[in-house]
Chains A and B, each alone.
Chain A
Amino acid sequence: MEKFDAIIVGAGLAGLASAYTLARAGVEVLALERGDYPGAKNMTGGRIYVNPVRNLFPDLWKNAPLERFIVREEVTMMARERSVTVSYYGEELREKPRQSYSILRSKFDRWLAKQAEAQGAVVLSKVKVDDLVIENGKIEGVIAGGDELRSGVVIACDGALSLTAEKAGIREPGAARDYAVGIKEVIELDTEHINARFNLEGNEGAARLYVGEVTRGKFGGGFLYTNEGSISLGIVVGIKDLMDDDPKIEAPALMDEFKRRPEVASLIKGGETAEYSARVISEGGFKSLSALYGNGILVAGDAAGLVLNIGFTVRGMEYALASGYYAAQAALRAREAGNFSAGTLATYKSLLEQSFVLKDFKNFQETPNVLGNPRFFRHYPELAGNIMKDIYAVPAGSKNRLYPTVKQYMTVREMWAMFKDMWKLTKT
């Protein structure tokens, strides 16, 4: 019976990066995808930052089907009846090579699968991995569609829940406090309207984050990215907070409320929703990373919990691509050694530790605790809104001096609390 060097479970970014790298090295690799095609089950907010992974796949980026390069960044603190937005535009965001792009995964992943196939990888769609072949405590392959498929190593790239890693016995089902759920609508709108509304030219793009009332003060926020001919609009909410009854609201209702906000409604007016999708997102950072390897198995991308939220940026796709690449490197070394045991595959962890992947996760390991502070989602957006309201208000009579106006909100106690929160955020 034919035996592959590596079988990859899931043709997302981690899986395809792994397949591409292994095939390029001349290794027999099979990637199994349960969707109709690679990308059929994958969604992102989304934006990808290319810099950290540019050199891992040097020939890849020139023709990659990315949407728009982001030149306008905005964060909106959304209070109940008003909002305050900080906007950042810089020439550096326009310079080549461009830092980040909006992206639609069904398109991108299908293309990436073709690149992996061109290198010699076999990518099979509509095949779900049902179980693992485990002999003497080592994973020897997978069972898919009743067939036993054997390999030196199995690389689990099956997303945030990673049932594959669970079946391998190296991971427990996730806890609500470590996960958020993301919900997105892709809203089709013509290029002219997008460019005019977001002050863009050509294939420039805009990214916006929203925090506060968008999640009714629960952990999370809203996002908006401009694609070539559509807008990706959505919310991310902590599952633990969503399960709490304070306030009790169903996830789809939060999304509808967000769309109805006047600040958002005017941006998507005339657009037609084309797709509605959702996924869970790991939010625990370094401390909730899953096991990265076991006997005959490597875990990459979302499956390992490699998503990093540091407030202004939420990143996962670069970590997926890079971890897929390093998993492939570890598999290549194990193949050379003729040994796919956990001891040999541990190289994978060292490779990640030496790379930006685990360096980032370690650098920002305290950030999830700091961002868990409900003041960021409940208190500050209202505070910022109230101060702006009073500063800008012109009443019929005389207007109060600004200092006492601001001082009523910014008491010494408030400023001290704010200072501590900001200190903790920037210290991490």
Chain B
Amino acid sequence: MREMTGLKAKLGLDVFKPSKEEHIKIKAGMGKDPRVKKAILVCPAGLYSESETGEVILTIDGCLECGACRIACGTDVLDWNYPEGGAGVQLRFG
């Protein structure tokens, strides 16, 4: 099982600047697509989860902009972009 509290705490250490919009979206009607489910395994920030109805939900807060979900799921099922300039994660160590 995912240790949500530990992961949330780690993400809480990072600096995030607010973004005007969600830069990654699951495309309409693709929530139950098996390709999207792969994101649950690969996302280092644990932002993808499966709802009771079997639909994958993405919570964009805490996105590290790593690109793993884009590679794993593909652009047929994800509307994928980086956040606008000056938004999103800002690494202090890198």
Contact = CB atoms under 8 A, between A and B. Distances in A.
Interface of A: 34-37, 39-44, 104-109, 125-128, 144-145, 159-161, 163, 173-176, 179, 181-183, 185-186, 230, 239, 242-243, 248-253, 255-256, 273-280
A126 B94 contact: no
B24 to A, nearest CB: 12
Interface in B22-52: 38, 40-46
Contacts of A109: 94
A130 to B, nearest CB: 9
26 contacts: A34-B86, A37-B90, A40-B94, A41-B88, A42-B94, A43-B91, A44-B94, A106-B93, A108-B94, A127-B85, A145-B85, A159-B67, A163-B82, A176-B72, A181-B44, A186-B93, A243-B42, A251-B42, A256-B3, A274-B92, A276-B11, A277-B14, A277-B94, A278-B64, A278-B66, A280-B71
Which of B43, B45, B94 lies at the interface centre, i.e. has the most chain A CB atoms within 10 A of its CB?
Answer: B94
Interface in B69-94: 70-72, 74-75, 81-86, 88-94
A330 B11 CA distance: 41
Given A276-B14, A280-B67, A250 B41 contact: yes
Contacts of A278: 44-45, 64, 66, 68
Given A36-B86, A173-B70, A239-B68, A275 B91 contact: yes
A127 to B, nearest CB: 5
Given A34-B85, A181-B66, A256-B3, A275 B72 contact: no
B2 A42 contact: no
Contacts of B7: 252
A274 B3 CA distance: 18
Contacts of A173: 70-71, 74-75
A40 B74 CA distance: 25
A242 B82 contact: no
B89 A41 contact: yes
Contacts of A159: 67
A340 B14 CA distance: 41
Contacts of A276: 10-11, 13-14, 44, 64
B67 A279 contact: yes
B60 to A, nearest CB: 15
A126 B42 contact: no
A106 B14 CA distance: 13
A40 B67 contact: no
Contacts of B11: 276
A243 B72 contact: yes
A256 B6 contact: yes
Given A35-B90, A41-B91, A278-B66, A273 B10 contact: yes
Nearest to B68: A181
A421 B65 CA distance: 36
Of B11, B41, B71, most A-chain CB atoms within 10 Å: B71
Given A161-B70, A230-B93, A279-B66, A250 B10 contact: no
Contacts of A106: 91-94
Contacts of B70: 161, 173
Given A128-B85, A251-B43, 17 more contacts: A39-B91, A40-B90, A41-B65, A43-B94, A105-B91, A106-B91, A125-B86, A181-B71, A182-B66, A183-B44, A242-B72, A243-B41, A276-B64, A277-B14, A278-B45, A279-B64, A280-B71
A158 to B, nearest CB: 9
Nearest to A161: B67
A160 B75 CA distance: 15
A104 B93 contact: yes
Contacts of B88: 41
A243 B43 CA distance: 10
A255 B1 CA distance: 13
B72 A239 contact: yes
A144 to B, nearest CB: 8
A280 B93 contact: no
A253 B3 contact: yes
B7 to A, nearest CB: 5
Contact of A128 (B38, B66, B82): B82
A255 B68 CA distance: 15
Contacts of B66: 181-182, 277-280
B2 A277 contact: no
Nearest to A33: B85
Nearest to B12: A276
Nearest to A186: B93
A243 B69 CA distance: 10
A139 to B, nearest CB: 19
Interface centre among B40, B86, B92, B93 (most CB of A within 10 A): B93
Given A41-B89, A104-B93, A280 B68 contact: yes
